[in-house]
Each structure stands twice: as C-alpha cells, then as structure tokens.
Amino acid sequence: MIQFSPCKINLGLSILAKRADGFHALETVFYPVALNDIVEIVPTKLFTFSHTGISIPGDTSNNLCVKAYQLLKADFPEMGDVKIHLHKNIPMGAGLGGGSGDGTTVLKILNNLFNLNISKEQLLHYAASLGSDCPFFIYNEACHATGRGEILKPIDIDLSGYTIALVHPGIHIATAWAFQQLSPCVKEKSIAAIIKQPIETWKAELMNDFEAPVFKANPLLEKIKNNLYSQGAIYASMSGSGSSLFGIFPKGTTIESPATESSVRIDLI
C-alpha cells in the first residue's frame, strides 16, 4: 500500500509559555502544501525499513516511521511484520513537518492494511505520542493549533486562489536550539483573530516568533523573505523553526528563484 505524505507551513507561530512538562505552549495555524514524501508498506516475514531520495542521517531506529510501527505493534501484536520504504522529497530541519507527516502516514496505512479499525480519535492519540505536530496530519486540512500543537480545530482558510512559493535554502535548523533562543510570552492579539482578517493585513500582524533569532544566525533567510516581498508576495514568512520560507502570491504571478545562493531552490505549489 502506497500513500503520499504531505508537509505543512505555519501561518503565524507564537510561543506563549514554557510548560511544566518541558514542552512549550504555542499557537499557530497549520496549512497543508503539496510537497510530498512517498511511503510504501507491504506485509513481509521480517520487519525492514529502507529509504531513498534525500539522505536521512542517524540511526534508522529513531525514524518516526519505525516508531509508528512499533507503537501500533505494541497494542496490536497480531499485526504482521512489514517492509516500510520511504522516498524522501521533503527536506529535513526545514520547518515543514516532513518527518511528522511520514510517521502519521505509517499509522494510517497500517490501520487500513491490517483492518485494525482504529478510530480517528485513537489515531490522533497515537499521533500525539509520536510528536507534537503529528496529529495535524490526521486532519491534513487547515487547522488552528494550540497546546503543544496537538490541540487542533479545523478552520476555513482556502489559499487555492493564490500561488504559494516555497523556498528551502539548504540550511538545517535544529528545533531544540531554536526554542532555546526564545523568551515565551502571550501576545496582545491572537493568531486566531489575525487569520480571520484579510490576507493583506497579515504582513503587518501575522508573525513567527522564531524568525528573529533564526534570521540573526542565518542572514540569508531574511534576504530570501525580503526577496519574496520584492517579487510581489502578499504575505511571506518562515515556516516553523525554519529554515524554509514561503510567499503567498496572486495567482499567475511570475516568480523567479531568489537571487541569493545557488543552493536555494524554489517549488511552486
């Protein structure tokens, strides 16, 4: 069984407080975009995990695809062994949630492949135990997120009338480092309120708290954001803790790859 595993961008991201459990309370809007990894799972006599595409460093036992399988196997021991193959297109350390989407996709495939009859509510619980933004990929529609990112409410935002330009500069941003740079605080105006306003107002009000420290450490990223605005973006921002940036343009806008470094690439979605 094969499924495409999407990624997301953040429309605004506020880090509100440090929680007693070590996580951070946040507010954001997750929005799915059509840049996909591909996950294939087939029954086999011995569990294996393989990958192609973008190189995945580190021990594969830490991959969320493997952890997702182990999570369900613990509760459903009758589930057979499988071969999981991941073709990686979504860059890592880019603020796009690619790994979270992959792990959640494994949960959904296994549920269907072995007729586990896991409800949506149960899948959300499993996904939350994998990672804070994993539950979003159960919904895979625009969602307002609070808590540590796992409390989700679908919202009515449709950007299909625009072009979204997604830029990845080939820089890996460590999420743990990014959080260490912040001083959490409650904002005067919530993202939930700002997102309801006309998109033309977002530039002045819809902020990502990670931009200031990440831009300071990596000035190239701020140049890319400014380049998106200079080409006519209505709204531009960094996604998550970076390093990917995106611009929302009127449909039909001709967009050039930012003139910064040759390593920068752009995908039109």
**CATH for 39:** 3.30.230.10
Last residue of a domain, one of 132, 154, 176: 154
187 contact partners, CB below 8 Å, separation of at least 6:
14, 16
Give pLDDT tens digits for 204-245: 999 999 999 999 999 999 999 999 999 999 999 999 998 999
DSSP for 161-189 reads: TEEEEEEE-S----HHHHHHT------SS
Number of domains in the chain: 2
**Do 119 and 25 lie in a common domain?**
yes
**Do 130 and 234 lie in a common domain?**
no
Q: In CATH, what number is assigned to the domain containing residue 194?
A: 3.30.70.890
Question: What local confidence, expressed as pLDDT, does residue 262 receive?
Answer: 38
**Do 59 and 117 lie in a common domain?**
yes
Last residue of a domain, one of 154, 173, 191: 154
Give exposure, 205-240, as e/b (b: 16+ Cβ within 10 Å).
Answer: ebbbbbbebbbeebebbbbbbebbeebebbbbbbbb
DSSP summary character for residue 208: B
Give the other-Cβ count within 10 Å of 53's Cβ: 12
Name residue 258's amino acid.
P
Low pLDDT (below 50) residues in the chain: 261-265
**Do 180 and 250 lie in a common domain?**
yes
**Do 110 and 228 lie in a common domain?**
no
DSSP summary character for residue 49: E
**Do 176 and 240 lie in a common domain?**
yes
Give pLDDT tens digits for 94-123: 999 999 999 999 999 999 999 999 999 999
Task: Provide the Cα torsion 223, 227, 230, 231; round to 10°.
Answer: -170
Question: What local confidence, expressed as pLDDT, does residue 263 receive?
Answer: 41
Provide the residue range defining the domain that includes 197. 162-268
**Do 215 and 182 lie in a common domain?**
yes
**Do 116 and 140 lie in a common domain?**
yes
Question: What local confidence, expressed as pLDDT, does residue 22 receive?
Answer: 84
Last residue of a domain, one of 97, 128, 154: 154
Catalytic one of 8, 88, 108, 225: 8
Examine the residue annotation and report whether 133 is marked as an active-site residue of this protein.
yes
Question: What local confidence, expressed as pLDDT, does residue 57 receive?
Answer: 85
Question: What local confidence, expressed as pLDDT, does residue 170 receive?
Answer: 86
Catalytic one of 102, 133, 209, 223: 133
- Tell me how far CA of residue 81 lies from CA of 61, 69, 113, 135, 255, in angstroms: 15, 9, 12, 24, 46
**Do 144 and 53 lie in a common domain?**
yes
